[in-house]
Amino acid sequence: MASANSSTGVTDQVLVEENSSVRTLILNRPRQLNAASFPMISRLLEFFIAYEDNPNVKLVILKGQGRAFCAGGDVAAVANDPNMGAIFFWKEYTLNYIMATYKKIQVSLLDGIVMGGGAGASVHGRFRVATENSMFAMPETALGLFPDVGASFYLSRLPGFFGEYAGLTGARLDGAEMLACGLATHYVPSMRLSSLEEALCKANSADQAIVSAIIDEFSEKPTLKEKSAYHRLDIIDRCFSRRTVEEILSALERETVSGEDWISTAIQSLKKASPTSLKISLKAIREGRLRGVGQCLVQEYRMCCHVLRKEVSKDFFEGCRAILIDKDRNPKWEPSRLELVSDDMVNRYFAKVDDKDWEDLVLPVRDNLPAAAYAKL
């Protein structure tokens, strides 16, 4: 077993274990809940590209050090330098695309917090293993951003309108809910993860069916909690299928007579979130249903560029101030109400940036891909 050092000049943010033809990448910023920094993303991209072309590598396992898989991107650093932020998102979305179209098998062990960029680094891969410690969320609308890292692709493909619910409210999902909705492919008790890793290394196989069967041997079918919102897909579909955010909110308020906690929590989350973020997020998820993963990432990069340029709204920077810097948790959104965010304002986020210094995302050409990857295109 060997360890590879990072060439970034910082403490190793991605550790590597080599065992036969298996490479295990360990996100290693435990004090920051493995928040994805630029050096971490850069290193992951280097490894994934190198392993894809290396005939001695058959399987890549990705996991986190400590109690988080990855709690999201290091957005505070992005907000401090918008130009560097554009480079950050370009590299991160390229990594997401490589993972989504990867020729080899990626197994992500999601034993802890999986938020934002952590979802982008795992959900696009072939196998996602949740545990009793897993906690998934896309909380971007509360920060003045939007669910990105390809979320407009994978959220739009969850059952019914569950993706709109998760993406707009930032709802926290446990491991059982992740498995039920398809964000996870397997559920393995955390105490069995090390044995699973050993079995995968021992099998030394690039055969997807064999890898799946091995994970199946360690898997369980967890029971959804009684109060899980996933039990109420009928209400979620009835509300989150509405055309506008305003109509979604009104529909949810009509459902409060049922007295279910998750409904009042969803309403509260929507009312606290950035109105601009909610509207651009809904449009992105809706349009994502009709797009391939690459098209979704290109569109999300455009949206990020408009966010960083502050042309329509400065909500992302205000959200970072209120939640990450001053921590008063009282952002002053502008516009402050849903009805003040016009369709024209929303549409500007989806238009090409009219500035030669802010180009559209150009993704690497991918060929000779497995059928599962072509299906995403």
Q: Which residues are tagged catalytic? A: 73, 117, 140, 148
Buried (b) or exposed (e) across 64-88, using 16+ Cβ within 10 A? bbbebbbbbbbbeebbeebeebbeb
Q: Which long-range contacts (CB under 8 A, 24 or more apart) does 194-201 make?
A: 196/109, 196/129, 197/24, 197/61, 197/109, 200/22, 200/59, 200/61, 200/107, 201/19, 201/20, 201/22
Q: For residue 360, what is the DSSP state?
A: P
Integer angstrom CA distances of residue 11 from 24, 39, 343: 18, 10, 46
| Closest CA relative to residue 126, chosen from 108, 112, 141, 146 | 108
CA atoms of 285 and 71, how far apart (whole Å)? 21
